[in-house]
Amino acid sequence: MSSPPTSQIVDEAGKAAARAAFDETNEVIAVDSANDLYAYNEEEIQKTLNEKKWKNDVHYFKRTKISAKALLKIVMHAHSAAKGERKTEIMGMLLGKVVGETIIVLDAFELPIQGEEAFVTAGDQANIYMSEYVANSKLARPENPIGWYHSHPGLQVFLSGTDCTTQRLYQQFMDPWLAIVIDPVRTMTSGKVELGAFRTYPPGTSAASASSGWEPVPADLIEEFGVHKDEYYKMETSYFKSASDAALLDLLWDQYWVSALATNALTSNAEYFSDCIHKVARKLEDAEEEMAHSSSSSSARFRAGGAGAGSSMSFLSSAPAAAGPPDSKLALCADESSKFAIEELHALTTQVVKDSLFNIRR
């Protein structure tokens, strides 16, 4: 009996290694199939829905747990529309349940929507498709729609004004409801799924007026979380899998693995990398201007105070405070530069590994 060709052995080994790396990087936890995460207790769920504790506590839902099956479906869907020069947003729905303060996502499915580069919304056709899909899926699993997901290619994960409006409507009529945002470009470049789970505050409520003990998004992160940052909050996210999902996960991974192999993150995301460089350059210029202004202001105060020992000590004690904000901006630039450099190196390393695996020269 002949042994399988070397290329097939390498392919299978590479696929298994990539799958293990994906689970490790995204901290996917293995659980038993009989775990409460999978069990559907109709009585308990109905009790939770009737109590509606989230009506009295806008931060009632604090965590979301996503199955590896749902995660891979979301990643693959988002990745399919993030290839080439024109990267568009996609949208889909989430199926799952609520257990206490946790929203559990067990499955996900695509909606037949082709969004634009900066936004995506569901129309009548998508709503009809969603209703039919849920009705048919009930034959196999009892879970109900629990939220929606969409992508922000290269834009980071946050809720835009349109997203906040959509999520707020869903929470008003279909609560409990979850919004997931994924950035497929940063996912491809970093190797780690860039995903966020969010819920919006009720109309008339914001992060500043919400219950105490919950910190709003800092003002210096407004670019990352959007100008509507006070209208929603981010939930803690984790991933899990079980042996019962193994066959389906293998099938999904085969599709994802082929797609990942065929993608060159350096060329397909060239525009994204270029934007990152320009963004950091602009921030460095702003920080430099503020530091120059701060330095000139400090010098003026020193000259006005004279050259005595007392005035010198006064100047020294006030200098750190004056340099604080520019230094803070410079630190943010350094952090962003490091993150970008790591993504670039990861994409380059991935291409080198592919070349060594599949372009073996004999």
Give the pLDDT confidence of 236-250 residue by residue, as tens digits. Answer: 999 998 877 766 666
Radius of gyration of the chain (CA): 25
Position 28 pLDDT exceeds 80: yes
Angle, to 10 degrees, between the axis of helix 309-358 and the axis of helix 270-305?
170
pLDDT for 103 equals 93
Only one residue has tokens 């869903």, namely 170
Residues of the chain with pLDDT > 90, as a percent, come to 10
Which tokens belong to 7? Answer: 């290329």
Which tokens belong to 292? Answer: 């120059």
What's the rounded Cα separation, in Å, for the pair 110 and 95? 11
Position 178 pLDDT exceeds 90: yes
- Sequence-distant (6+) residues with CB within 8 A of 249 are 68, 69, 72, 241
Distance of CA 131 to the CA centre of its chain: 27
Distance of CA 42 to the CA centre of its chain: 31
CA geometry: angle 103, 152, 93, nearest 5 deg: 40
Position 41 pLDDT exceeds 60: yes
**Is the pTM above the cut of 0.95?**
no
pLDDT for 63 equals 93
pLDDT for 50 equals 86
CB 151 within 8 A of CB 145: no
Average pLDDT, the chain: 71
Judged by DSSP in three states, 208 sits in: coil
